[in-house]
Amino acid sequence: TNSKGKTPRRPGPKKASNIEKDPVGVYCRIRPLGAEDEDCCVEMISSSTIQIHAPDGLKANRNGEYKETQYSFKKVFGINTTQMELFEDVSRPLVDDLIQCKNGLLFTYGVTGSGKTFTMTGSPGEGGLLPRSLGMLFNSIGPFQAKRYVFKPDDKNGMEIQSQVDVFFPTLSFSFPLFTFAEEACKSGNVDEDCCYSVFVSYIEIYNNYIYDLLEEAPFDPIRPKPPQSKILREDQNHNMYVAGCTEVEVKSTEEAFEVFWRGQKKRRIANTQLNRESSRSHSVFTVKLAQAPLDADGDHILQDKNQVSVSQLCLVDLAGSERTSRTKAEGSRLREAGNINQSLMTLRTCMEVLRENQMCGTNKMVPYRDSKVTHLFKNYFDGEGKVRMIVCVNPKADDYEETMLVMRFAEMTQEVEVARPVDRPICGLAAGRRHRNQAFKEELSRRLAERGGPINAGDDPVLVTQLTESLPALPPCELVDPADDQTLPRLIEALEQRHRIRQMMVEQFHKTASTLKSMFEQFDGQLNAKETHLHDQQSKLNQKDKVIMNQRAEIERLEKKSKTLEYKVDILQKTTDMYEQDKRSLQQELETREQRLQRELSDKRRMEQRMQGMVTDTKLKWEKECERRVNAKQLEMQNKLWVKDEKLKQLKAIVTESSTGGGCITEHLDKPERPSRERDRNMPQKRSASPSPIPDLYPTNSSTTPSTSSSSYRSVASCISDWEQKFPVDSNSEARYTGTPQYRSRTPAPCHSTSSVGRRRGHRLAPGTETAPPVHPMHRRSQSAGGEKWVDHKPTSNLDLDTVMQPIIPNAIKVSTPNEKALSKCHKYVLRHQELASDGEIETKLIKGNVFKTRGGGQAVQFTDIETLKQECPTAPSRKRRSGSVERPVQVEDIENRVRA
């Protein structure tokens, strides 16, 4: 196969499994509102908790309720917090760790315009975290700084010590009064005086996921200017990430360091957006690197050993603000910048989520550091190379509510991530206080030389010897010109003796000083021996303490193992308890569900029983009324039949009487037929209609012809009855009907009326040759639904069919039980059948009518214009205006009879 093997991954540094971890320190700072009339959505409840509520007009959840959320931090700084208070709580511990050779990372995070750059850089008169950190660093290590160019970067994220410094450049002084806070200068108490220090700063920006060096001095070509070249990330021998080829400037004062920062700040990409007039369009990283090396045993020069050089760094990161392009109105390059900013911040959130999941759930997922330059550069900090601090800047105005909620969720999740605590640097084997002893020795030597007028070892220095010789008495002239001269030699002898005495005195003083010094040395030796003895005793005690500590550590490990075992058991029991609790809750919920279902079924059953009882009662009342109506109608029909039979008997009686008395009697009886008197007819005269007068031409005969008295000339009884029935046919089973318009016709027979009596009355008042009575057209109101338009007939399923006389029959209608847009779009009219109970206990139907028209949005709307009421009544029911006991014929029937008579 041609497949190439993968390059083996270089193993990372092995870390102990029982290292201590600290959570990421997350702080919150609330900036003041831009205007007093702006709506505020953030409230500071305590020194560590804030509360966020949704602004007016924005629903925080699906139920439409306003939701308030609280978030807790390590500390919350309100709008009245000064820059000094923020520095003391957040940055001062990181500077102390920097001096103790521990790395630190501090970055500001928040929405655009929330105050991140002000917190990091500050303003004139109110320096931010960056200048205050530089001031504290130089105030602490100022007297112990090494000469310039003693330390030199090796371009591999390390430092070298130069053996000889050939050229010494004095420290440059810069006047940069923009950020002044000398009255608030502070120092660190953890500075090692036996070391020499040097500070290097670098400044980069990450723009569109590319790294640019802001301190790089590229030659400017006015003809063909070259764009800045991006840098790459590399990994050093300690597996720490660094920017290859980044410019590192050695600074010796706060002013010089801040001048370098300001020089790079001018190159940073800042643009004007809708949310911020000077919005940072890139992530800026200002790195302060501190190199320190111990002094030699004499405390005079730096120890020339590269392995003894310690390098620590503090990264101050000003992240670009997260933003929504819909609010910033970003276009073109601004839109691309916003996309890259949001993508890098999203990668940072993803890395934090994976780290938290790995730590809380025990998983080993790969953290996607390489997806963004920001996370790739600082992955060592999250893997345990230093402390991590984050300041969440919040703008409390209501317009930033949704972005602020996302920032709060990310900050709350970041607090749960734990970072390994950095280990202390190894202690140098040289004795402490070397610099102080060397300085004290030099000062004492200078003092003593000043007292004696010269150094002690004068023989080694010819200048000192000359000064000492000149301090002796001068020799007189020694030239002898006369043998008898007795004055020159005595003067010379006296001068030499004086010099000898001075020399003896100096020798005695020297011996005296030597003896004193010897005694002092002996005393120092004795003290040193005593100190060594004491040190030996203390070392033995320390060894004993170490043994005790080892035993205690072994005991602690045993107790930790036992504790872990018990914790494991507790976890198992807790999981078992949770399972039982979950089963209990599920069973309880199931029981409650069944109880609710049972209660619902019982309530439904009770409602159904009540409904059925009501329906039974209504049906019972309806059928009672119907039976009463039918009984009355049948009774009236039987009375009419009985009256017809009585009439027939009267006619028969008249015929029989005529046959016995002669033809003249027949005519007389026909003119005035009398109804036979019966007891039953006398007892109930009110229940039957008045008999109409007989028709004179009931049996037409020839008036000029006188009937014969013989029996053969008369008709038989059967023939007379047959002629009567043929002349006036009576349908005993027919019932009276009210006639109306074609659209309104009775569906059921009208109650309490028979056709026999009415038809008979009509027949008595018509011409003899007429066989049927003309129809009666009572006055009525024609329904509005009889037009030619198309109707939507909305009849709910709960409506009942009532036997009212006037029933609407709507042609070309679409019948629906529930209205829909499709049916409404096809019709011009709409009618709704509504039923309700009237005051007299009867059910009446209301026809609510309206016009259908189209709305501007493309839908259908109905405008109601008319209401028509249909009600069922029994004509035989006594009127409320009549007195009880009076039985009269219905007004409607009398009205019909009067119109027929007319």
Give pLDDT tens digits for 335-362. 777 777 878 888 999 999 999 898 888 8
* Sign (positive or negative) of CA dihedral 750, 751, 752, 756: positive
**Domain that includes residue 240, residue range:** 21-162+192-420
Binding positions for ATP: 110-117
Kindly report, residue by residue over 630-676, the tens digit of the pLDDT. 999 999 999 999 999 999 999 999 999 987 765 544 444 444 444 44
Amino acid at 245: G
388 domain residue, yes or no? yes
* pLDDT tens column, 192-208: 888 899 999 999 999 88
**CA-CA-CA-CA torsion sign (538, 542, 543, 544):** positive
Exposure class string for 315-324: b at 16+ Cβ within 10 A, else e: bbbbbbbbbb
- Is 468 contained in some domain? no
Has residue 396 been placed in a domain? yes
Name the percent of the chain in helix, strand, coil, to the closest 5: 45, 15, 40
752 domain-assigned: no
Answer whether residue 886 is part of any domain: no
Cα Dmax for the chain: 249
- To the nearest 10°, report the CA torsion of 700, 701, 703, 707: -150
pLDDT tens profile 81-94: 999 999 999 999 99
Tell me, what's the pLDDT at 680? 45
pLDDT band, very low/low/confident/very high, at 11 (cuts 50, 70, 90): low
How does 117-155 read in b/e, with b if 16+ C-beta sit within 10 Å? bbbbbbeeeebbbbbbbbbbbbbbbeebbbbbebbbbee
* Domain count within the chain: 1
Q: Phi, psi (5° rounding) for residue 484? A: -90, 10
Whats the size of the chain, residue-wise? 902
For residue 615 the two structure tokens come to 């329906």
**CATH code for the domain of 147:** 3.40.850.10
pLDDT over 60 at 424, yes or no: yes
pLDDT tens string 448-505:
777 765 544 444 455 555 555 555 666 676 666 677 777 777 888 888 888 888 888 8
Please, which residues have CB within 8 angstroms of residue 191's CB and are 6 or more apart in sequence? 99, 140, 141, 144
Q: What is the pTM of this model?
A: 0.50
- Cα angle 726, 730, 732 (rounded to 5 degrees) comes to 145
Task: DSSP for 353-404, please give it.
Answer: HHHHHHHHH---PPP-GGGSHHHHHTHHIIIIIEEEEEEEEE--BGGGHHHH
- The region of weakest confidence among 74-88, 295-309, 547-561 is 295-309
Q: Name which of 271, 352, 277 is nearest 109 in CA terms.
A: 352
| Non-local CB neighbours of 643 within 8 Å, separated by 6+ positions | 688, 689, 691, 757
Closest CA to 227 of 247, 241, 210: 210
What average pLDDT does the chain have?
76
- What is the average per-residue pLDDT within 199-218? 90
In a domain, 119, yes or no: yes
**DSSP helix/strand/coil, 900:** helix
160 - beta bridge partners? 152
Residue 86 CA to residue 93 CA, distance in Å, equals 12
- Classify residue 478 as exposed, middle or buried by CB count within 10 Å of its CB (0-12, 13-18, 19+): exposed
How confident is the model at residue 889, as a pLDDT? Answer: 42
**Per-residue model confidence (pLDDT) at position 421:** 82
Give me the mean pLDDT over the 305-328 stretch. 79
For residue 450, is it within any domain? no
| In-domain check, residue 415 | yes
* pLDDT at site 334: 61
- Dump pLDDT digits (tens) for 677-729: 444 444 444 444 444 444 344 333 333 333 333 333 444 444 555 565 555 44
DSSP string, 602-658: HHHHHHHHHHHHHHHHHHHHHHHHHHHHHHHHHHHHHHHHHHHHHHHHHHHHHHHHH
| Dihedral (Cα; 820, 824, 830, 833), 10-degree rounding | -20
The binding site consists of 110-117
